Amino acid sequence: MNDSIIDIQSLTKRYPGSAMLAVDHLTLSIKRGEIFSLLGPNGAGKTTTISMLSCLLTPTEGDALISGHSVTNDSLAARRIIGIVPQEVALYDDLSARENLLFWGRMYGMQGKPLSTKADEILERIGLTDRAKDRLSTFSGGMKRRLNVGVGLIHSPEIVYMDEPTVGIDPQSRRSILDMVKDLNQQGMTVLYTTHYMEEAQELSDRVGIMDHGKIIALGTQAELTEMVGEREVLRLYLSEIQSAENLATLLQELDVVFDASAVDHQVIISTADASEALPAVMSAAAVNGFTIRSVDIQEPNLEAVFLHLTGRALRD
């Protein structure tokens, strides 16, 4: 018996007027009951993939089956099965938290007592029971994000797509959402989660697909992926805001002890065989060239190192 709930077959999207493929012949299966993360930098094609799987964008080529229903030929049936948590908060500011839940529940065919009970249950789960009657316009960003997730769950979908649900959120709300994802998964819900936060993918996922330029460049469990980079460790150097991380990364790339170096924000992320051994050479090269390192992290092999290894760039490039 096939235990996959999402079967993606050569899914491709080219936007009109663009020479590049936003999603390039993506083929993938997601198993029933797993948390699958699509990890990749901005512009990798994660949201376009989710949009096609949500039946919002027509694929240029290929198809996807959601629990056996084609997103191109049987989209109404496919849409009944999925719940969506979009990247941006997609709710009505002039409605209260409860009114939002009731509105979206009705859009999925729910009504009456079951809908009312489910709305209360969701409000409890996302910690907004005491604000149920308040209009969304009075909510903080984090509270809106939590409700955004709650609305995606109102009709108890078999699969929920979460498209970077924690972007720009406070730590407390972020923790709440991550715990909710794990909790839902334990109750049997399949979760397709996109993020460019390596830590979230590591914490949540049964399997991870690393995406870049519209393609899956690596796929597997976290252990399988980190094996790809062997015993490589990651050195993360923090610079002051006035210094150019790009210049330092270019400089350090020349060192023998450095496999890859990439700049993101005011950090330089280095992939190396032995971080303790490489550190003196790195610090020395930085000092000689006038760079002041404010602090250093040494990390075990992780998905960041995998991405760096595969693309030569940091995840948040």
Partner 1 sequence: MKILNVAWKEILTTYRDRAALITMLVAPFALTLVMLFAFGNSGTVVLENIPVAIVNQDGGELGQALVDVFESDELADLLEPSLVGTATEAKALVDEDKAAAAVIIPAELTSIITTGGPPATDALATIEVYQNPGRTLSAQIIAGITDQFAGNIVAGYTSGHLLWETLTASGSIPTDELQIQIESLVNASISNTIITVNATEQNISQAQSSSDFNWAQYMGPSMAILFLMFSVARGGRILLVEQDQGTLSRMLASPTRPSHILIGKVLGIVSASILQMLILMVAMRLLMNVSWGPFGPVLAIIVAVSLAATAWGILIGTRARTVAQAGNLGTAISLIFAAASGNFYPRSTLPEFLQKASLISPNAWALDAFESLAQGGGMQDVLIPVIGLLVMTLILGSIAVLSFRRRYASAQA
Give the span between the Cα atoms of 159 and 189, in whole angstroms: 6
Six token digits for residue 138:
């009075």
- Applying CB under 8 A, does 111 fall inside the site for partner 1? yes
Six token digits for residue 262:
């990439």
Give the 3-state secondary structure percentages of the chain, helix then strand then coil, rounded to 5: 40, 30, 35
| Choices 88-96, 218-226, 231-239, 309-317; region in contact with partner 1 by CB under 8 A | 88-96
Task: Give the start-end residues of each E strand in the chain.
Answer: 4-13, 23-31, 35-39, 61-66, 69-70, 82-85, 159-163, 190-195, 207-212, 215-220, 233-239, 258-264, 267-272, 293-299
Residue 94 Cβ vs partner 1, minimum distance, rounded to whole Å: 4
Residue 238 Cβ vs partner 1, minimum distance, rounded to whole Å: 35
| Choices 35-43, 95-103, 225-233, 307-315; region in contact with partner 1 by CB under 8 A | 95-103
- Applying CB under 8 A, does 109 fall inside the site for partner 1? yes
Taking the least distance from each CB to partner 1, the nearer of 93 and 224 is 93
Identified binder of partner 1 from the candidate list 11, 26, 57, 192, rule CB under 8 A: 57
Instruction: Report the site for partner 1 in 124-153 (rule: CB under 8 A).
Output: 135, 151
Count of other CB atoms within 10 angstroms of residue 183 = 11
Six token digits for residue 294:
């404010």
- Applying CB under 8 A, does 95 fall inside the site for partner 1? yes
Taking the least distance from each CB to partner 1, the nearer of 56 and 285 is 56
- Residues in contact with partner 1, counted by CB under 8 A, come to a total of 31
For residue 181, the SS3 value is helix
**Residues interacting with partner 1, by CB under 8 A?**
51, 54-58, 75-77, 79-80, 82, 84, 86, 88-92, 94-95, 99, 103-104, 106-109, 111, 135, 151
